[in-house]
Amino acid sequence: VKTVTLNKLNFAMWDFGSRTQIRKLWQHYYHGTNAVIYMVNSNDKDRISIAQEELHQLMSNELLVDAKLLVFANKQDLPLAMPCSEVYE
């Protein structure tokens, strides 16, 4: 957990990771969430469909219905990384 303050805006951030066994615990942190930053490994084509399913499940939760979403396509510097347009699809 990390808290960052920028001007008068406070960010409380959690890095949940992608381990399957802790995904069911994510929902305990949704209350009061205004935004979600979702990081996708754009170099891992084998798991992109899992990331897509998890993102859809995450954002379909009623506590996140009004939350803003930002998706980062991480690892774009690697030679086999999917371009952002492919991650978007």
Q: What is the pLDDT of residues 17-66, one digit of tens each?
A: 666 667 777 778 788 888 888 889 999 999 899 889 888 988 999 999 89
Mean pLDDT along residues 78-83:
93
Torsion of CA 51, 56, 58, 63, to 10 degrees: 160
| Token pair in block for residue 67 | 């939350």
Q: How far apart are CA 19 and CA 43, in angstroms?
A: 18
- In angstroms, the CA 64 to CA 29 distance is 10
Pair of tokens at residue 6 = 């920028």
State the Cα–Cα distance between residues 64 and 27, nearest whole angstrom: 10
Q: Indicate the pTM of the whole model.
A: 0.77
- Residue in this structure with the two tokens 């399957």, named with its chain if needed: 20
